[in-house]
């Protein structure tokens, strides 16, 4: 009995001590802010970060400004660009800053147009362009590759064991919308899309080919960090017409044009404006160019912490982001 009482007593002491130790404060990130920063820190804005550096760049800059200029708390989640809509609609996420319209027509219809919890947050400012890209060094010996006609005679350059008898168009992540097979067939080219299954597979292949100056034709897009590392040229495809846009929606197998420009847009949870009017106003006003985003992306890609990369750009470009913050402050006061 005595030993049991002793054991109980020691357990009580142990737990009290643990609780006491846990309660005391310890170094964590200090809540910064000058005198003029509004007190919004009990509201947390949740961002979606999609698996590409541009998305991380957008979110890093937005988070930095929301925290330091508007006093909000921020958090982010890594989420695939399709899964994010569901979380936006339920409120698990508040904002995503870069949606590519060409891949998300269904999501726009299901979630935004049908008022299923998500609202259009306006343009991001950056313009996306998907296309068939190849290394510029190929133009030296094959200048005809500048446009798709060149493939009629040069398809064999791109033949690989994966597509015997046809040239390979290397595709990546299957979640990215592609019309490559349709374009090749409808333009009468002896090319076939080969799906590598992931963006990293596609880019590794590019790296290998680029180092040996071998031919490669791939589905790629700008803005992308690879554009900063490799000198790539986009192959000319037939201009986008209204018929093309119609085909993309109704009969993708008939598509025979270049990929349309992707006017990247933002999407928010429909309660964001009520929950955090200043954040909503700032994020709606946020717009920047491909080059600006690429600067921050390149830093992130080379290993810089996203917040540091954001701070570096923010310190250097006050004129760009001040209007966004002003819009936020105006909504705060209102």
Partner 1 sequence: MAVVRDDQSLLELSSAAGTARQAEHPWSRRLIWLAAIAALVAVGIALFPAGFPDGLVWDAAKPLNTANQWVIEHQRTNALFVHVLVPFKNTINSGVDQLTKGLARLTWLGLLALIVAVSGYVAGWRKAVVAGIGFGAIALLGYWADSLATLSLILVSVAIALVIGIPLGILCAGHPALEKFLRPVLDAMQTVPAFSYIIVFVLLFSGGATTAMLATVVFALPPAIRLTSLGIRQVPDDALEAGLAFGVTKRQLLRKVQLPLAKPAIMVGVNQTIMMALGIIVIAATVGYPGLGLKVLLALQGLHVGQALAAGLALVAMAIVLDRVTFGWSEADRRRRGSTDVHLFGWSISRRVLLILLAATVIVAVVVGRQVLRQQDFPDTYVVSIAPTVDRVDESVIHAIGHYTRSLSDVGTTRILTPLTDLLTAMPWWMVCLGAAAAAFAAARRWTLAIMSFLCIAAIGFVGQWDNAMDTLAQVIVGVVVSVAIAIPIGIWSSRSDRVQRILKPLLDGMQTLPQFVYLVPVIALFHVGRIPGIIAALIYALPPCIRLTDLGIRQVPHDRVEAALAFGADERQLLRKVQLPLAKPSIMLGVNQTIMMVLSVVIIAGLVGGQGLGYQVINGLSHDFGTALVAGLCILLLAIVIDRITQAMGQPAGRAATGPHPIGWFFGTSRARRAAVEVGGDEIPGAIPAGKGEG
| Rounded least distance, CB 26 to partner 1, Å | 5
φ, ψ for residue 41, nearest 5 deg: -70, -10
Judged by CB under 8 A, does residue 245 bind partner 1?
Answer: no
DSSP for 46-100, written as a single string:
EEEE-SSHHHHHHHHHHHHHHHHHH-EEEEEEE--TTHHHHHHHHTS--EEEEE-
Judged by CB under 8 A, does residue 202 bind partner 1?
Answer: yes
Judged by beta carbon, residue 212 or residue 242, the one nearer partner 1 is 212
Judged by beta carbon, residue 68 or residue 198, the one nearer partner 1 is 198
| Contacts with partner 1, 180-199, as mask; x by CB under 8 A | --------------xxxxxx
Judged by CB under 8 A, does residue 295 bind partner 1?
Answer: no
Residues 8-67 that bind partner 1 (CB under 8 A): 10, 14, 17-18, 21-22, 24, 26-28, 51-53
Judged by beta carbon, residue 230 or residue 321, the one nearer partner 1 is 230
**What is the largest distance, in Å, between two alpha-carbon atoms of the chain?**
94
Judged by CB under 8 A, does residue 160 bind partner 1?
Answer: yes
Residue pair 262/248 in contact by the 8 Å Cβ criterion: no
193 membership: H or E segment, kind and range: strand 191-195
Closest CA to 52 of 174, 187, 226: 226
Closest CA to 62 of 220, 293, 254: 293
Binding site for partner 1 (CB under 8 A): 3, 7, 10, 14, 17-18, 21-22, 24, 26-28, 51-53, 77-83, 86-87, 89-90, 92, 106, 110-111, 114, 116-117, 160-162, 164, 170, 174-175, 194-205, 207-208, 225, 301, 303
């Amino acid at each position: 009995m005595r030993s049991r009482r002793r054991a109980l007593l020691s357990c009580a002491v142990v737990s009290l001590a643990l609780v006491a130790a846990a309660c005391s404060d310890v170094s964590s990130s200090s809540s910064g802010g000058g005198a003029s920063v509004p007190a919004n820190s009990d509201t947390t804005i949740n961002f979606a970060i999609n698996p590409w550096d541009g998305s991380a760049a957008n979110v890093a800059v937005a988070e930095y400004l929301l925290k330091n200029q508007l006093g909000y708390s921020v958090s982010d989640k890594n989420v695939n660009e399709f899964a994010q809509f569901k979380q936006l609609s339920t409120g698990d996420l508040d904002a995503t800053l870069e949606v590519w319209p060409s891949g998300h027509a269904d999501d726009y219809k299901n979630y935004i147009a049908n008022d299923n919890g998500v609202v259009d947050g306006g343009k991001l400012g950056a313009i996306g362009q998907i296309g068939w890209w190849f290394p510029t060094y190929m133009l030296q010996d094959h200048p005809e590759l500048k446009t798709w006609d060149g493939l009629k005679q040069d398809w064999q350059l791109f033949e690989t064991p994966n597509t015997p008898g046809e040239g390979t168009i290397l595709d990546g992540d299957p979640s990215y919308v592609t019309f490559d097979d349709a374009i090749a067939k409808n333009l009468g080219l002896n090319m076939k899309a080969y799906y590598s299954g992931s963006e990293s597979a596609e880019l590794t292949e590019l790296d290998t080919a680029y180092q040996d100056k071998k031919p490669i034709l791939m589905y790629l897009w700008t803005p992308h960090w690879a554009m900063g590392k490799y000198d790539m040229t986009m192959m000319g495809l037939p201009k986008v017409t209204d018929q093309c846009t119609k085909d993309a929606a109704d009969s993708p197998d008939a598509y025979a044009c270049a990929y349309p420009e992707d006017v990247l847009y933002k999407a928010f949870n429909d309660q964001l404006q009520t929950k955090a009017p200043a954040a909503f106003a700032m994020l709606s006003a946020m717009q920047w160019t491909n080059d600006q985003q690429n600067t921050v992306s390149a830093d992130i890609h080379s290993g810089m912490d996203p917040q540091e990369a954001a701070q570096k750009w923010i310190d250097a470009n006050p004129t760009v982001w001040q209007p966004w913050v002003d819009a936020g402050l105006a909504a705060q006061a209102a």
